[in-house]
């Protein structure tokens, strides 16, 4: 059973790594869609905690997230600490492998084709998709959205993810972090540290 789960982790994160453009933040919406929605391996609040930890620890957030998810999924399924580490390694390797193979192949041909009209056309379509994927990741963590009805004429329902915003204090912390980042250009590290201290005092 756990062997099948680990193989499923590999397949899932390999596909995520294969179809992600724009780095770790753009990857989050795909990871959430697979881990929370498609497979139901964890709750939305747990995934949000993992994203927060991945942001605070060194390294790319998407890869860190895969590492934490791999461990958490296997251990919660009844695996040992060692199997959890194997799950972490599997998810991490799977999400990195497609990029490694693609970049290795493209590195040889990039200088030759970088001025090619077809290549420029593909990149011009991919660039706008990156902010969209990053924005989708933020919206997914904040709102629970649901489409119902006929495709193209669906009713759109939206609600706050209450696990991530349980009370007014959490909204105040969110607002303070947003203002500090957008208006006063405070870096992410001071905001993270201040948020951790505020969380200890408030909760």
Mean pLDDT in residue range 183-190: 89
Instruction: Judge whether 109 lies within some domain.
Output: yes
Q: Are residues 103 and 65 in the same domain?
A: yes
Q: At residue 35, does pLDDT exceed 90?
A: yes
Q: Same structural domain for residues 150 and 198?
A: no
In a domain, 163, yes or no: no
Burial class (CB in 10 A: 0-12, 13-18, 19+), 32: buried
- Closest by CA to 32, choosing from 141, 131, 174, 144, is 141
54 in any annotated domain:
yes
| Residues 117 and 175 reside in one and the same domain | no
Based on the fold, state whether residues 56 and 153 are members of the same structural domain. yes
Exposed (0-12), middle (13-18) or buried (19+): which is 178, by Cβ within 10 Å? exposed
8 A C-beta contact, residue 70 and residue 88: yes
137 lies in the same domain as 181:
no
Q: Are residues 21 and 117 in the same domain?
A: yes
Residue 121 has pLDDT above 70, yes or no: yes
Confidence check: pLDDT of 93 > 90: yes
| Number of domains forming the structure of the chain | 2
142 and 198 in a single domain? The answer is no
Residue 91 has pLDDT above 90, yes or no: yes
Smallest CA-to-CA distance from 52 within 179, 164, 182 is with 164
CA atoms within 13 A on the CB side of 35: 32
Mean pLDDT over 27-52 rounds to 90
pLDDT digits (tens, 9 = 90+) for 72-89: 999 999 999 999 999 999
pLDDT range class, residue 150, cuts 50, 70, 90: low
- Kindly state whether residue 41 falls inside one of the protein's structural domains: yes
pTM of the model: 0.71
Predicted pLDDT at 151: 56
CA gyration radius for the chain? 19
Residue 152, domain member (yes or no): yes
Range of the domain at 84: 2-158
Regarding whether 87 and 39 lie in a shared domain, the answer is: yes
- Is residue 103 situated within a structural domain? yes
192: confidence class by pLDDT, cuts 50, 70, 90:
confident
Question: Does one domain contain both 111 and 176?
Answer: no
Give the pLDDT confidence score for residue 56 in this predicted structure: 83
One domain, residues 24 and 90: yes
| 73 found inside a domain | yes
Q: Is residue 100 one of the residues assigned to a domain? A: yes
Q: Are residues 128 and 179 in the same domain?
A: no
Q: What percent of the chain has pLDDT over 90?
A: 41
- What values do phi and psi take at 62, rounded to 5? -65, -40
- Does residue 85 sit in the same domain as residue 151? yes
């Amino acid at each position: 059973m756990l062997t099948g789960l680990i193989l499923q982790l590999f397949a899932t994160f390999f596909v995520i790594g294969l179809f992600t453009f724009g780095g770790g933040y753009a990857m989050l919406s795909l990871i959430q869609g697979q881990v929370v929605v498609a497979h139901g391996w964890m709750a939305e609040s747990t995934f949000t905690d993992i994203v927060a930890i991945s942001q605070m620890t060194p390294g790319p957030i998407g890869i860190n997230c895969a590492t934490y998810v791999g461990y958490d999924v296997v251990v919660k399924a009844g695996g040992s600490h060692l199997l959890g580490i194997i799950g972490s390694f599997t998810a991490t390797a799977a999400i990195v492998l497609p990029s490694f193979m693609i970049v290795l192949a493209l590195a040889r041909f990039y200088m030759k084709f970088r001025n090619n009209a077809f290549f420029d056309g593909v990149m011009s379509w991919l660039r706008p998709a990156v902010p969209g994927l990053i924005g989708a990741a933020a919206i997914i963590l904040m709102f629970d959205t649901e489409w119902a009805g006929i495709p193209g004429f669906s009713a759109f329902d939206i609600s706050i993810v209450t696990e991530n915003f349980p009370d007014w204090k959490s909204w105040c912390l969110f607002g303070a972090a947003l203002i500090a980042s957008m208006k006063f250009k405070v870096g992410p590290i001071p905001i993270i540290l201040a948020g951790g201290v505020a969380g200890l005092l408030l909760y």
